[in-house]
């Protein structure tokens, strides 16, 4: 770095913090999945599955992909990695639901293999976000539980875990909304109205 630039003020980020956008998209995607997750009969028709698929694609996938790219542009590698990676999973949800609407189910073997990989990824991401805020840790723990239930359901060949999966999806939606509300209210008022809690771990200096 040149001496003349060493004391220059930090340049403004190209975008406002897009985290709330990604979380709103995730919560809307989760909301669209809840009738299916809870086994509501009217949500299991071909038309309802196609409707759910589009919400997953546009909000779960689209909002998180856009928020992820904006996070990368803002030099936020951790947030950008989480949002962008998860956005493609929502695209797969769109494809799976579209296939189910046509009477075709995705390969359970492939889904299990990918869920195992996702489970490992999110365990490490949970640890990483523990250096930022407790609310973010709760958010990641809920994702961890969701994948744990999905993996157990695959391995045990049981539908008994359908309710825990549905309840965890509900909790994930609620936590995502809380964090997003906290961010937008803090942006609007200039103060923390809904606290996110401090970091679980303090990085060594």
pLDDT of res. 7:
46
Region for residue 190 given its phi and psi (left: phi exceeds 0; alpha: psi -120 to 50; beta: otherwise):
left
Q: How confident is the model at residue 204 (pLDDT cuts 50, 70, 90)?
A: low
- List the chain domain ranges: 17-188
Q: Is the pLDDT score of 95 beyond 90?
A: yes
Instruction: Give the model confidence (pLDDT) of 125-165 as tens digits.
Output: 999 999 999 999 999 999 999 999 999 999 999 999 999 99
pLDDT of res. 1:
35
> How many Cβ atoms are within 10 Å of 191's Cβ, its own excluded?
7
Question: Global pTM?
Answer: 0.91
Q: How confident is the model at residue 43 (pLDDT cuts 50, 70, 90)?
A: very high
Calculate the average pLDDT of the chain. Answer: 93
Instruction: Give the model confidence (pLDDT) of 50-83 as tens digits.
Output: 999 999 999 999 999 999 999 999 999 999 999 9
CA distance 89 to 73: 21
pLDDT of res. 11:
76
Burial class, 58, CB count within 10 angstroms (exposed 0-12 / middle 13-18 / buried 19+): middle
Q: Which residue has the tokens 């999973």?
A: 89
Across residues 84-113, what is the average pLDDT? 96
């Amino acid at each position: 770095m040149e001496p003349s630039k060493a004391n220059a003020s930090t340049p403004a980020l190209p975008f406002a913090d897009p985290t709330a956008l990604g979380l709103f998209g995730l919560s809307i995607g989760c909301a669209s999945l809840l009738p299916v997750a809870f086994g509501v009969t009217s949500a299991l028709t071909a038309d309802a599955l196609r409707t759910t698929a589009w919400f997953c694609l546009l909000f779960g996938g689209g909002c998180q992909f856009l928020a992820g790219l904006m996070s990368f542009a803002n030099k936020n590698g951790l947030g950008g990695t989480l949002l962008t990676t998860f956005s493609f999973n929502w695209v797969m949800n769109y494809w799976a639901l579209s296939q189910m609407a046509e009477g075709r189910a995705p390969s359970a073997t492939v889904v299990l293999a990918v869920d195992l990989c996702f489970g490992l990824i999110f365990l490490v991401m949970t640890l990483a976000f523990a250096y930022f805020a407790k609310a973010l840790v709760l958010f990641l723990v809920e994702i961890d539980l969701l994948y744990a239930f999905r993996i157990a359901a695959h391995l045990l060949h049981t539908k008994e875990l359908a309710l825990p999966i549905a309840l965890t999806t509900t909790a994930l939606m609620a936590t995502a909304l809380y964090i997003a509300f906290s961010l937008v209210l803090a942006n609007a008022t200039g103060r923390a109205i809904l606290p996110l809690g401090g970091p679980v771990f303090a990085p060594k200096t």
